[in-house]
Amino acid sequence: MRIAYHLVTTDERIGTTLARAIDEALSNTALCQVCFSLTEVEVCQICSHPGRDRRVVCVVEKPADVIAIERSGGFGGVYHVLHGLWSPLKGMGFEKTKMAELFRRIPGAEVSGMGFPRVEELVLATGTTVEGDATALYIAHSVKEENVAITRIAQGLPKGGELEYADEVTLSHAISGRRTLR
Ligand SMILES: [Zn+2]
């Protein structure tokens, strides 16, 4: 209501422009044929970028997670968007996600004239919720016959966080996920 009020009481051209932008976004946006992230072309900019390592695939729940990891600037591989997590209590089975498509990507493929090599590492970057952990475990279990490395994003303390104020679960993950410094 607030938006509608704002639009009718200010310049109405803003409303028309906004409506057109939303309409264009809806009709031009599709899912990337390789990673299932949002794109306006058949294969998204990340998948088709020559500088990205296509052997390393980061598995996330939703397109917004791709944007978040990209913003961090710390990842040079490509993605796979599941569009959901395994959540039987919410009626969300594996078949409703892009899980089968992930497994099909592992041997490598050709899409839109672009070659995608065999996947050598799956970085499981689903959230640290019960569903996120269950989905990660399921993927790791399903591909254990394949010659592919499975990694899980680190879980622990936020940057600038103090141990004293961390909750027990976070702290226990931080301790068990410790890594060698030298
Ligand atoms: Zn893509």
pLDDT in tens, 26-37: 888 999 999 999
Q: Is the pLDDT of residue 12 over 80?
A: no
Task: List pLDDT tens digits, range 87-141.
Answer: 888 888 888 999 999 999 999 989 988 999 999 999 999 998 999 999 999 999 9
Q: In 10 A of CB 15, how many CB atoms?
A: 15
| Alpha carbon of 97 to ligand 1 centroid (Å) | 16
Q: Which two tokens mark 34?
A: 């390789």
| Alpha carbon of 142 to ligand 1 centroid (Å) | 23
**Share above pLDDT 70 across residues of the chain, in percent, rounded to a whole number:** 100
pLDDT at site 15: 84
Helices 12-28 and 2-9: angle between axes, nearest 10 degrees = 130
pTM, rounded to two decimals: 0.85
| Alpha carbon of 80 to ligand 1 centroid (Å) | 8
Q: Is the pLDDT of residue 60 over 90?
A: yes
Q: Is the pLDDT of residue 176 over 90?
A: no
Q: Which two tokens mark 104?
A: 């099909």
Q: Which residues contact 107 (CB under 8 A, 6 or more apart)?
A: 118, 119
| Alpha carbon of 34 to ligand 1 centroid (Å) | 5
CB 46 within 8 A of CB 79: yes
Question: If you average pLDDT over every residue of the chain, what do you get?
Answer: 92
Angstrom distance (rounded) from CA 134 to CA 121:
19
Q: Is the pLDDT of residue 80 over 90?
A: yes
Angstrom distance (rounded) from CA 174 to CA 168:
10
Q: In 10 A of CB 117, how many CB atoms?
A: 11
| Alpha carbon of 174 to ligand 1 centroid (Å) | 32
How far the first Cα of the chain sits from its last, in Å, is 58
| Alpha carbon of 49 to ligand 1 centroid (Å) | 10
